Chain A
Amino acid sequence: MKSERQYIELYQEAGDLIKSKSCAVMNAVRDEAFATFERQGFPTKKEERYKYTDVDAAFSPNYGISLTPLTIKPSLYIYNVKDAPLDITPYYNRVANTKDSITALNTALVHDALLIHVPANTLVDDPIVVDNWLRGTAPTMTNRRILLLIEKGASATVIINDHAADKQRFLLTQVVEVYVQDNAHLDLYEIEETPPLCSRFSNIYIQQGRDSSVKHNAITLFNGQTRNLCDVYLKGEGAEVTLNGCAIGSASQRIDNNTLIHHQVPRCQSNQLYKYVVDDHAVGAFAGKILVDKGAQKTTSQETNANLCASSDARMYTQPMLEIYADDVKCAHGSTVGVMDEAALFYMRQRGIPEVEARTLLKNAFMGQVIDQIKFEPLRQRLYVKVEKRFRGELDKCEDCRLCK
């Protein structure tokens, strides 16, 4: 049996229950999304953007679906979409690629959504932190939906942490839709520390207005299987986006990052820096596409992907792509897969640093380039420590989990 069957049956049986627990805006697009999913099924490895992840296998175990309502501490800017301070119809399921099967499945099955709304010309100094805890007594599927709306001239920092609180098999689908309007600014951090039994499928869609800027960091410290998709649509002139990623894989973890930066208007800038260290049997994949539309002149774009394969069984796939239909542009990408600098190792060993220690130092320095770019100081400091612990093998479980303490 192909694995989509159980999800189709699930929706046919529980569709009404999901609708009853949800709200009108979300129900409005649900049936259509389901129809899309039913028609397409799960993407196969023949689909270019899902080349490196076996979706079918990840979705094939029998999961129970979680319909637990969101618990939100009363706070400024953060809402359940049911209590949204504004009409979210023009935003919900709009920038998301509705043709993507995972997004369609999420839209069909999600019952609750989080809204982060920063009104115009509001500068939020403290970061908005979203902690996700995966809980369940049986294998559980969770569908998460987040809507981020940063209005004109506003500025915010959002940190999304992922943890699991129970030792269980989890499947997470996540769709994050981000609207950053004219002159607005957003720093978005996603930090994943989940146990090896977790599978994560996260699709982030970002739409930017004129002179806006977005910094997105995807940090995979510990995971089972992770697939992150990030699509950025630069729709206003002068918009700027930075996508950074840091992925550390060991044991048989799989990390697949897939990005698309779509330059639709002139004078936009994009930067990407993704770094991977893959050890043991881990598999890392990075595919990034820069798409420059006809007429999107004066585009500057830089894409860098550097990877370290630390064991002979580790595998790394990388695919940095440029698709350019305008002539007055400066676009470049670079990608490397390499080994640790033997000269540097020798130098350290000469000075009495044991080889293991020297290797850890080098790996740390390698990842440091990504962590250095994190603007929010306390987070940066914490990540330095965490990354080092990770390389020392001390972070073999999600450190912050209540269970693990």
Chain B
Amino acid sequence: MNNGEKATDIGQRTADNGGNEFVRQVAEKKYEFGFTTDVHTEIIDKGLNEEVVRLISQKKGEPDWLLQFRLEAYRYWLTQTQPSWGHVHLPEIDYQAISYYADPTAGNKKGPKSVEEIDPELMKTFDKLGIPLEERLALSGTAVDAVMDSVSVKTTFKEKLSEKGIIFCSISEAVRNYPDLVKQYLGSVVPPKDNYFAALNSAVFSDGSFVYIPKNTRCPMELSTYFRINARNTGQFERTLIVCDEGSYVSYLEGCTAPMRDENQLHAAIVEIVVMDNAEVKYSTVQNWYPGDAEGRGGVLNLVTKRGDLRGVNSKLSWTQVETGSAITWKYPSCVLRGDNSQAEFYSVAVTNHHQEADTGTKMIHLGRNTRSTIISKGISAGQSQNSYRGLVRVGKLADGARNYSSCDSLLLGSECGAHTFPYMDIHNNTATVEHEATTSKINEEQLFYCNQRGISTEEAVGLIVNGYAKDVLNKLPMEFAVEAQKLLSVSLEGTVG
């Protein structure tokens, strides 16, 4: 078995380490991905008003309907106040102290045509991040639409995808080239007035990805985007729109790292997914933004609205997320099961350490007949962090034969952290079967002792046990991500036990 191999491997390594020296070293280790790139960035002055919204739209050369979309969202946003119901200490964000537009390819308006045209500084950043943008891409079979700050830098594999009729490009490009598609679907899953942060995003969104899979097409590769917050004090407001037409399939990956900063950085994104008849979408995320230092200073505020609309019959949507970063995570990837026989899944691992706070979960809204949903959530809290699961399962009056199973487990490492579960179930139908179970406990002492006995240090043992605990979710990730996620779990928890 896999675990067995790992155990011996680790056993050999720890034999040389001796004592807690290793633990201390790792605990004091700084955030590995903390660096900034010196690229000339064209930034709009700080502040938010109607003029800024118009300016963003103008800079991107958007049609009038999109400008009106933004303005309407902005005007609605003005009437709202920042919500505070989450189990997180969200600071009062000064929205006037943020710049809403940054363009790393400024002065090169036509866009790079080849690798050489990309700013070398930028390329180095991507190298450090380990983004396989060039030949490595071809080998790994991944197409990357890399977003650095706001404007899409380079998109690869477009030709290969377009042969099949698949559209994979930045939202700005899609607005230019496929305005009808964008107009039809943008804001149809997450309306601009959905919530405070969705309204903000709808008003000022800078860029993001657009995916359209035509009928009866199986996307030949995993699509992935790397988001990265770079310019100082620049909130990033991406917008992702995925439309999977009848009988098609796509797997989309999203991974994030952000450089080290002292001030809080705001990230309010929107992901919209539309799934038609017999189509299937798999959306995977590994989120590892800067979580703040050990004293809780700095870190990214991750306030995201993600939602999928299963419009077609027999449609299927699967969310998988591994959340290890961000000072505050507040997001609920949700599914609206509108089509008959539609199926939705939510698999989540959320790790919090130091002073991180996470309030995450999902919403499953059953509207069609014979719909099914599964929720598997694994929370791990360490240090002084707070980790909450919040979920809603709603079965509508017409959703006959709906079925839901939810399981939320929390693992506590350390006596100063907290783990919380807030599940909501609203059942309006007598043929629904809804089950929910949750447990909270500390790491099993006997398992730790067993590992120690066999020469595995406590630190390594915790990594092993946690990985085993999260296995149900990690198994759902695509291969490349699963490996990364396993490492991430261990790294995130180093220094917590010992």
Contacts and interface: CB of A to CB of B under 8 A. Distances in A.
A43 interface: no
B436 A336 contact: yes
Given A335-B425, A335-B436, A314 B418 contact: no
A338 B429 CA distance: 10
Given A312-B397, A320-B436, A332-B438, A327 B417 contact: yes
Contacts of A315: 426-428
A319 B391 CA distance: 10
A309 B427 contact: yes
Contact of A329 (B424, B432, B438, B442): B442
Interface string A303-334: 00001011111111111111111111111111
Interface in A271-326: 294-295, 297, 307, 309-326
A339 interface: yes
B423 A331 contact: no
Interface in B412-456: 412-442
A332 B424 CA distance: 16
A336 B435 contact: yes
A337 interface: yes
B377 to A, nearest CB: 12
A336 B436 CA distance: 6
B420 A323 contact: yes
Contacts of B419: 322, 324
A339 B433 contact: yes
Contacts of A312: 397, 429-431
A329 B440 contact: yes
A314 B417 CA distance: 40
B410 interface: yes
B438 A324 contact: no
A331 B439 contact: yes
Interface in A330-365: 330-339
A31 to B, nearest CB: 32
Given A317-B426, A318-B425, A322-B420, A330 B441 contact: yes
B423 A335 contact: yes
A324 B424 contact: no
Contact of B430 (A309, A326, A327, A336): A309
Contacts of A310: 430
A294 B415 contact: yes
Nearest to B431: A339
Q: Name A's interface SS.
A: strand
Interface in B262-307: none
Interface centre among B395, B433, B440 (most CB of A within 10 A): B440
A313 B441 CA distance: 38
A341 B437 CA distance: 20
B363 to A, nearest CB: 14
A338 B433 contact: yes
Given A309-B432, A322-B438, A322-B440, A328 B427 contact: no
B434 A337 contact: yes
Interface string A240-265: 00000000000000000000000000
Given A321-B420, A337-B433, A329 B412 contact: yes
Nearest to B430: A309
Contact of B422 (A294, A321, A327, A332): A321
B169 to A, nearest CB: 42
Contacts of A330: 439-441
Contacts of B395: 337
B437 A339 contact: no
Contacts of B412: 324, 326-327, 329
A5 B416 CA distance: 45
A360 to B, nearest CB: 16
A321 B410 CA distance: 13
Interface centre among A315, A322, A338 (most CB of B within 10 A): A322
Interface in B72-93: 87
B427 A337 contact: yes
Nearest to B428: A315
A320 B423 contact: yes
Given A317-B425, A318-B425, A321-B421, A333 B437 contact: yes
Contacts of B430: 309-312, 314, 339
Contacts of A322: 410, 419-421, 438, 440
Nearest to B438: A333
Contact of A336 (B429, B434, B442): B434
B415 A297 contact: yes
Nearest to B435: A336
A317 B441 contact: no
Contacts of A338: 432-435
Nearest to A278: B430
Nearest to A331: B440
Interface string A138-179: 000000000000000000000000000000000000000000
A215 B229 CA distance: 55
Nearest to A322: B421
Contact of B423 (A311, A319, A323, A324): A319
B426 A323 contact: no
A264 to B, nearest CB: 15
Contact of A327 (B413, B423, B424, B427): B413
Given A309-B427, A324-B412, A333 B442 contact: no
A337 B432 contact: yes
A315 B414 CA distance: 40
A331 B410 CA distance: 10
B441 A329 contact: yes
Interface in B347-400: 395, 397
Nearest to A319: B424
Contacts of A334: 435-438
Contacts of A307: 427
A277 B438 CA distance: 23
B111 to A, nearest CB: 48
Contacts of B426: 315-317
B440 A316 contact: no
A316 B435 CA distance: 13
Contacts of B428: 315
Contact of B421 (A326, A327, A329, A333): A333
A369 to B, nearest CB: 17
Contacts of B87: 323
Contacts of A320: 421, 423, 436, 438
Given A327-B413, A333-B437, A339-B433, A316 B397 contact: no
A336 B405 CA distance: 9
A316 B415 contact: no
A107 B286 CA distance: 53
A309 B429 contact: yes
Contact of B441 (A319, A325, A331): A331
B312 to A, nearest CB: 25
A331 B440 CA distance: 5
Contact of A325 (B418, B421, B437): B418
Contacts of B413: 327
Interface of A: 294-295, 297, 307, 309-339
Nearest first, the 4 closest Cβ-Cβ pairs linking A and B are A327-B412, A309-B430, A322-B421, A332-B439
Given A338-B433, A338-B434, 6 more contacts: A317-B427, A320-B436, A322-B419, A324-B440, A336-B433, A337-B427
17 contacts: A297-B415, A309-B427, A312-B430, A317-B427, A318-B427, A322-B419, A323-B418, A324-B412, A326-B415, A327-B412, A327-B413, A329-B441, A329-B442, A330-B440, A331-B441, A332-B438, A335-B425
